[in-house]
Structure 1
Amino acid sequence: MEWLRSCTAWVKRAWSTPGHERNTALLVGKSALAATLAWWIAYDLLNAASPAFAPFSAVLIMNATVYKSVWQALRYTAAVTVGVAVQAAIGFLAGPDLFAFVLVAVIALCIGRWPALGEQRSQVATAAFFAFSTYATATTTADKVNQLGQIILLVLIGCGLGVLVNLCVAPPLRYRSAEHGLQVLAGRIETLLDDMADGLGTGEVDSDRAAKWRRAGERAQHAVGQARAGLDTAESSLPLNPRRFLPAHRGYLGFDRYRQSVDALERAVYQLGSLTRSLGRWREAEDTYTYSPALKAYADFAASLRDIAHVIAELDSDALAEQAQEMCRLATIAHEALQKVLGAARDNELPLSDASRPYGVLVVEATRLMEEFQNTCDALKDTAAES
């Protein structure tokens, strides 16, 4: 009965809170509604010979956003029209024999390489093959023309209903996707900085721990891609969406500041990657310089950046003003911690120009990290001011 408990928990999450489960349930429900309406029109009202084209088209173009649904509908309709046109031209010239099918297949597959059709490129050949089958079974010329035209009509009906249902039934606004992407990315950075602060503070910077930091940095880099994908989804959910004009959503008409934040955090991830690679080359026996005070200062600096990342990891647009104020306060603390890092390096006369030791990288990357975290704080502060 484990599967039943899992299903029940999934349904509860979909019902109670916004998120992936609810989005999935809405998409399934709207797809089923559009497909049902398309089948009813094609089968019961039009008595079409191939009514499945309509519900298939409705489901195929149903997307996470209205804008993407419209775009996919246009591309799919174009692909089907081209495929049917290819079959019609070859069929009426050469007839429904094997040689004609070879010509249809070659031409349709070549046109299917056209980048302008995007994800729907393969539908050129699919439509051409279905059209060939329909053409071959028709008995008269008028019937052949009628059947081929009916395929395009059914596709138009299915695409139109798919777009209409997506537009009228809870049209998705995915602005939370932008927040979620930032949250995940900041959470990965927070985890890395937390472990770095602990390791640098205790002096446990061996090869195993440095390797662990590199792996954490790679996971953070992967989260950058997820954050950008979330931003793209959020931005594409705005065009053609009537819900964006409602008072509750008017503060989400642009995501430039969120993109600036992702850009800054991406650069921070790169700086952290450079830092972890340098620490991976740490000499196990280092007794030439007194480096403990500098590492302790750097541990405090990493901890101050971790606190900023923690606030971003809990980003909430409804409390963004308060969170932005808290980030600015923490950024001031981080600036003070950075000055202590620079002071410790100077007081202990560490060889910052020696490439065989990580001190120079520590200081340089500390400055760059502070700049990127400050940029992130400023971008989110501006976002809060504009909301």
Structure 2
Amino acid sequence: MTAPGPASWRRRAADGRRAARDALRHPVRAARPHRESVAQTVRVAVACALAWEAAVLLLGEDEQPVLAPLAALLTVQLTVFRTLAQGLRQIGGVMLGALAALGLLRLAGAGFASIGLAVAVCLALGKLLRLGEQATEVPVTVLLVLSTGAPYAPVRIGDTLVGVASGVLVNLVAAPPTYVGHAAHRTARVAHRLADIAHDTARGLHEGWDERASDGWLRRVEAAARELDQARRVAVQAEEGIRLNPRRLRQGADPAVALGPLGEGLTCLGHVCDQLGSVLRGLDDLARGERRFPDGEQARAEARARVRPLGDVLEAVGDALDVLARIQRDHVREPGHTEDLTAALERGRDHHAAAAETLRRTDRGPAVWSLHGSIVDETQQILHELDPRHGPHPAALHPRPLRLPAPRRTPSEG
């Protein structure tokens, strides 16, 4: 891997200066994409300050309770549910470590052998109890108590309790976002990406395509699959974010309405992405003349021309995916949504039947008709996946409006 050259450094410096000028001219617009990071930083800072002050009041002026804000720092997470789970794991690790240290002092005292054995045993216990990242709290507490003496054990536990309570309290009062809107926005973006690929492929089938075009389609569907994985991770975060969240209780949002259609929509898009990838791999084989196709450019050109009617099917698929994206993005199913989706799919089925009949009459040779048949079957399965009435994913359509506003699109998410 080569180091960036002078031209690259100059370009990065120019980009940095341009970004700084834009931030100074339009600070609100520049901060908008990072507002959640800023809000999380503020929540952490407030929780740490509150933990320090509470520890001083509760534990006395003579104490320097730096471990209380440290506990708050480790406790505050992006969601209320994750914050509470993190705090409970932290309390469990500290209490286990304090008990282990007190037992070690009573039985063997502090020495290099006993400390090494205690750290090893405590790390194993932390893993066994599934404390996650907080497994290290157990040996850390053991070392702190051994270095300062048995009277420090209750102080260490008190610092942790104060810090965890401060972190949970701040997150409850601040009510971090549920992330349902972000998850829906990302899901809609994946649907739009797949729709664009379907539309461009349809245009290529009508106008003619080569292996360079088919290779570009495959790369784009692979990028869409990666974006789909990111949307799934945000959906998991939304599932955590809506639990125990006061904002959800105030808005009266039903978790089943918020999360069910999102999860089902992601499942539907995952199947469509795989099937569209299979179609594009078949078209790529056609463009490259793979799989023992008839010799001669003329024969391969005729085989490619016969799948041209499938372009109309993919055009309808793209239209249907655009409708699904609109449903996911807006958190609502309007009467027109189902009608638009159904109309696009009906149009696609009509074109699919005509294309299949054309291929049935004209295909010659097992290498050609088997590949054409797989492409025809995958496009038919895509139409079935998107069917709002008879397909496998009707729950991908929201049954009623969801009163959680979608986030505004920012230039970085375009």
Q: TM-score normalized by structure 1?
A: 0.85
Cα 1:128–1:200 change in 2 (3 A) is farther
Moved more, 45-54 or 220-229: 45-54
Q: Which aligned pairs between 1:209-224 and structure 2 lie closer than 5 A?
A: 209-224=213-228
- The Cα offsets for residues 298-345 of structure 1, whole Å up to 9 and x where unpaired, read as 1122122222323444556657334x6235324323322332232233
> What residue number does 2:400 align with?
384
Give the fraction of aligned pairs with identical amino acids, expressed as a percent.
26
Q: Which aligned pairs between 1:95-110 and structure 2 lie closer than 5 A?
A: 95-110=109-124
> What residue number does 2:173 align with?
168
Aligned to 1:281, the other structure's residue is in SS state: helix
Cα 1:48–1:75 change in 2 (3 A) is farther
Q: 1:338 corresponds to which letter in structure 2?
A: R
Cα 1:237–1:202 change in 2 (3 A) is same
d(CA) in 2 for partners of 1:130, 1:356: 73
**Structure 2 segments unaligned to the other structure (5+ residues):** 1-16, 290-296, 404-414
d(CA) in 2 for partners of 1:174, 1:370: 30
Q: 1:156 deviation in Å?
A: 0.6
- The Cα offsets for residues 272-293 of structure 1, whole Å up to 9 and x where unpaired, read as 1211222222154352795566
Q: 1:383 deviation in Å?
A: 2.8
Cα 1:317–1:185 change in 2 (3 A) is closer
Cα 1:278–1:219 change in 2 (3 A) is same
Q: Which aligned pairs between 1:215-364 and structure 2 lie closer than 5 A?
A: 215-247=219-251, 249=253, 254-282=258-286, 283-284=288-289, 285=297, 287=299, 294-315=306-327, 318=330, 320-322=332-334, 325-326=336-337, 328-348=339-359, 349-351=361-363, 354-356=366-368, 358-364=371-377
Question: Residue 130 in 1 paired to residue 144 in 2?
Answer: yes
> What residue number does 2:3 align with?
none
Q: 1:4 aligns with which of 7, 13, 20?
A: 20
Question: Residue 365 in 1 paired to residue 365 in 2?
Answer: no
What RMSD over aligned residues (CA atoms) do the two structures have, in Å? 3.0
Moved more, 349-358 or 362-371: 349-358
Q: TM-score normalized by structure 2?
A: 0.80
Moved more, 195-204 or 32-41: 195-204
Cα 1:311–1:13 change in 2 (3 A) is farther
Q: 2:235 corresponds to which letter in structure 1?
A: L
Q: 1:91 aligns with which of 105, 111, 130?
A: 105
Cα 1:95–1:299 change in 2 (3 A) is same
Aligned to 1:172, the other structure's residue is in SS state: coil
d(CA) in 2 for partners of 1:220, 1:386: 26
d(CA) in 2 for partners of 1:9, 1:301: 48
Q: 1:232 deviation in Å?
A: 1.4
Q: 1:345 corresponds to which letter in structure 2?
A: A
Q: 2:339 corresponds to which letter in structure 1?
A: C
Q: 1:162 corresponds to which letter in structure 2?
A: G
- The Cα offsets for residues 156-185 of structure 1, whole Å up to 9 and x where unpaired, read as 100011001100123432211221231232
d(CA) in 2 for partners of 1:30, 1:261: 32
Q: 2:159 aligns with which of 154, 157, 163?
A: 154
Q: 1:103 deviation in Å?
A: 1.8
**Structure 1 segments unaligned to the other structure (5+ residues):** 136-143
Q: 1:207 deviation in Å?
A: 2.4
d(CA) in 2 for partners of 1:76, 1:305: 50
d(CA) in 1 for partners of 2:111, 2:216: 64
Cα 1:7–1:80 change in 2 (3 A) is farther
Q: Is the 8 A contact 1:190 1:306 kept in 2?
A: yes
Q: 1:265 deviation in Å?
A: 0.9
Q: Is the 8 A contact 2:328 2:397 kept in 1?
A: no
Question: Residue 26 in 1 paired to residue 39 in 2?
Answer: yes
- The Cα offsets for residues 118-162 of structure 1, whole Å up to 9 and x where unpaired, read as 332232233333333333xxxxxxxx23x1111111101000110
Moved more, 360-369 or 206-215: 206-215
Q: 1:386 deviation in Å?
A: 7.8
Cα 1:132–1:247 change in 2 (3 A) is same
- The Cα offsets for residues 324-371 of structure 1, whole Å up to 9 and x where unpaired, read as 623532432332233223223313514399345531122101110001
Q: 1:37 deviation in Å?
A: 0.8
